[in-house]
Amino acid sequence: MSTGRVVEAANNRVWDALARASKDPDFGLHFAERMTVDAFDVVGHLLARSRTFGQALDRVVAYSRILHDAGRVEIERRGERVVVFPGCRGLVNGSPRQIAEFSAASVLVLGPATTGKHVAATAVRFRHPAPPRVSEHRRIFGVTPTFDEPE
């Protein structure tokens, strides 16, 4: 039996199908909300054993390719602020809404797993167009995201 990876385009179709089947327009956000570090296998184990949220982010950047190799997880430190690009850079097929929102929400949801403290967003930006409602986005992120952003 050989093992392999699911190609990015097929993965995108699976996420779209899951969102449609769930009849939840905010599927990606809600899926992230229910995640635990255990769902991320060895990367989750590293997260849970990080001393700081910064160390956890560094580990995600270093080892996220274990989970997938479609896009790159990157962080940029800007003084006291950290900008997280959760797997959206380098994607061949773009970043579908549900995957992008899941990835962004996962950062905030998994933060307390490493620090025991709330992790707050100061801004959230998405490439995809704004959905009809953003109330769940505001609830989860604590800010109103902007949409149709270049990155």
pLDDT at residue 1 greater than cutoff 50: no
Q: How far is the C-alpha of 35 from the C-alpha of 40, rounded, in Å?
A: 9
Per-residue pLDDT tens for 103-114? 889 888 877 777
Strands (E), 9-117: 72-78, 81-89
Label residues 35-44 b or e (16+ Cβ within 10 Å = b): bebeebeebb
Per-residue pLDDT tens for 107-138? 888 777 777 778 889 999 998 999 999 999 99
* pLDDT tier at 28, thresholds 50, 70, 90: very high
pTM, entire model: 0.82
Q: Where are the domains of the chain?
A: 8-118
pLDDT of residue 146: 96
